[in-house]
Amino acid sequence: MISDKMRKAVEGGSQIRAMFKAGKEMAAKFGEDNVYDFSLGNPYTPAPKEFADSIRKCLDEYENNSGFLHGYTDNEGYEDVRQAIADNLNSRFGSSYAARNIAMTVGAASGLNAILKTILNPGEEVIVLCPYFTEYRNYIANYDGVLKEVKCDEYILPDMEDLSAKITPKTKAVIVNTPNNPSGVIYADATMKALAKVLNDKQKEYGTDIYLISDEPYRELVYDGAVNPFVPDYYDNTIICYSFSKSLSIPGERMGYLAMSDKVSDIDMMIAAVSVAIRILGPVNAPSLIQRAVAGCLDAKTDVTYYDGNRKLLYDALTSYGFECIKPQGAFYLMVKAPIDEAEFVKKASSEYHILVVGTGSFGAPGYVRIAYCVSRERIERSLPSFKALAESCGLS
């Protein structure tokens, strides 16, 4: 007999993962060319050549007995790898990280789990800003935290009055995610300043620490010259949760890091506790070869212009068919307003048009669907007639 909590989690399921599986089943049934799966953020563009080269270099050094490659590392990662990441951040953002401020994690998801385990007592609150990555719900529940949603304004940015109202003495953290999944929106300078002001005021009012967890898997995926805010510049109590999944197109490799500056409250204890959390939650350390491999190509990137092309093609086509879309400034998701009931729309798209998208009700944004356009250009091109027919069937054009 499995636990009550897990039984509910299984029955609730992940819409995204269920779609991913359904997509594979539909592809087997109808042929891959006749199914348009936009459900999962599984990047289409290949990892840059530098990544494979970096792995090969590590293997060669190891075989020449000049490298330590597959052994346990410190729980927080190789020191030289953490130093390389600190240096890279410092040179790009003018920050002052040292190796000790970086902890390598098994992707951003493990980073989020490690930091939430580190800070949360049961019943303490974590604020998420709608729309938000639906998995935050599970990560917070893992540590018996209470998720509180802050609604968004008409620009799909956090409503500051609502944020202020939702913070209580039990608020331990706020999660910010820019570029945003599912909206693709980037938080502007003014938004970040307003957000920081609310948090600083509330810390003062309650005499508490409110950590700002900046979930940044899409940091390098920005378009039209947009500038994504460097969150620690706005708020001292910021913990960055980064992943190489999207920048290097290696989500399966599970590599990311936490960056906690010396300005973070209780920083020495925090660093020590994160290291313990990484160990006891099961990861022990982030995969050792891949740690070295990413450190060897920190400036490499997958082909972001490819996603930009997808973005334009899809946004222009869908708006021309009459869909109301939120124009993405980053990441690789497009939020589209469901012209009929969200669940009905998702079902109709899937069953009648073989278009797999995810409703954003579980992202705290009911009435929309999320299209992950990190797919081949061809898939988008092939899907357009079906999107057009779908629009028509919903009375849009």
Residue 238, interface with a second copy (CB under 8 A)? no
Residue 206, interface with a second copy (CB under 8 A)? no
Residue 139 to residue 277: CA distance in whole angstroms: 14
Interface characters, 256-285, with a second copy (x: CB under 8 A): ---------xx--xx-xx--xx-xxxxxxx
Interface characters, 26-65, with a second copy (x: CB under 8 A): --------------x-xx--xx-x-xx--xx--x--xx--
DSSP one-letter code for 225 = T
Residue 22, interface with a second copy (CB under 8 A)? no
Residue 250, interface with a second copy (CB under 8 A)? yes
Residue 21, interface with a second copy (CB under 8 A)? yes
Task: For residue 330, count other CB atoms closer than 10 A to its CB.
Answer: 26
Interface characters, 208-237, with a second copy (x: CB under 8 A): xx----------------------------
Q: Which is nearer to a second copy, 111 or 361 (CB)?
A: 111
Q: Which stretch binds a second copy (CB under 8 A): 119-127, 186-194, 213-221, 334-342?
A: 119-127
Residue 5, interface with a second copy (CB under 8 A)? yes
Residue 347, interface with a second copy (CB under 8 A)? no
Torsion of CA 107, 109, 111, 117, to 10 degrees: -150
* Binding residue count for a second copy, defined by CB under 8 A: 83
Judged by CB under 8 A, which of 15, 39, 101, 118 binds a second copy? 118
Residue 228 to residue 42: CA distance in whole angstroms: 22
Q: Which is nearer to a second copy, 75 or 360 (CB)?
A: 75
Judged by CB under 8 A, which of 139, 218, 234, 307 binds a second copy? 139
Q: Which is nearer to a second copy, 183 or 253 (CB)?
A: 253
Residue 370 to residue 357: CA distance in whole angstroms: 6
Q: Which stretch binds a second copy (CB under 8 A): 83-91, 101-109, 155-163, 305-313?
A: 101-109
Task: For residue 45, count other CB atoms closer than 10 A to its CB.
Answer: 20
Residue 376, interface with a second copy (CB under 8 A)? no
- Which residue is listed with tokens 């087997």? 28
By the 10 Å C-beta count (0-12 exposed, 13-18 middle, 19+ buried), 94 is classed as exposed
Q: Which stretch binds a second copy (CB under 8 A): 87-95, 249-257, 305-313, 388-396?
A: 249-257
Q: Alpha carbon of 319 to those of 314, 335, 355: distances in Å? A: 8, 12, 17
* Residues with Cβ within 8 Å of residue 321, at least 6 apart in sequence: 387, 388, 391, 392, 396, 397
Q: Alpha carbon of 133 to those of 57, 87, 172, 298: distances in Å? A: 36, 29, 19, 26
Whole-number minimum distance, CB 21 to a second copy, in Å?
Answer: 7
Residue 123, interface with a second copy (CB under 8 A)? no
Residue 81, interface with a second copy (CB under 8 A)? no
The token pair that represents 68 in the structure block = 């330590």
Quickly list DSSP for 202-220.
Answer: HHHHHT---EEEEE-TTTT
Whole-number minimum distance, CB 349 to a second copy, in Å?
Answer: 22
Could you tell me how far CA 82 lies from the centroid of its own chain?
A: 21
